[in-house]
Structure 1
């Protein structure tokens, strides 16, 4: 499962739907998601990609505290 939080909305897709695997680099994952959202990859440059122990991917904006 790939869970994405983008511009205040949450999306869930299977890896197959996005042609993404956890083995891809963060850069490749961001590029594929940018294509899915039809935005420039620079819009996702500050997004964090977490890989869970179960093999899922969580893509989210970087958290800023303080």
Structure 2
């Protein structure tokens, strides 16, 4: 499962729906997510691909503390 947090929305999709594989690097994953969201991939440049121990992916904005 891939959980995407983008501009106040939360979207859950499968890896198959996005056309991604576990072996893809973060940049390739973000490109596929951008295609799914129908936005320019530059809009995800500061986003983080968080690979969870369960195998799920979380695509989210980078957290800034302090």
Q: Same fold (TM over 0.5)?
A: yes
1:44 is displaced (CA, Å) by: 0.1
Contact 1:4 1:11 in 2 (8 A): yes
Structure 2's unaligned 5+ residue stretches are none
Q: CA-to-partner distance for each residue in 1:35-58, whole Å, 9 max, x for gaps? A: 111111100000000111111100
TM-score of the superposed pair, with normalisation by structure 1: 0.93
User: Is residue 18 of structure 2 the alignment partner of residue 25 of structure 1?
Assistant: no
1:10 deviation in Å? 0.2
Dislocated runs of 4+, deviation >2 Å? none
RMSD after superposition: 0.8
TM-score, normalized by length of structure 2? 0.93
In the alignment, structure 1 segments of 5+ residues that lack a partner are: none
Alpha-carbon distance between aligned partners in 2 of 1:21 and 1:3, rounded to the nearest angstrom: 15
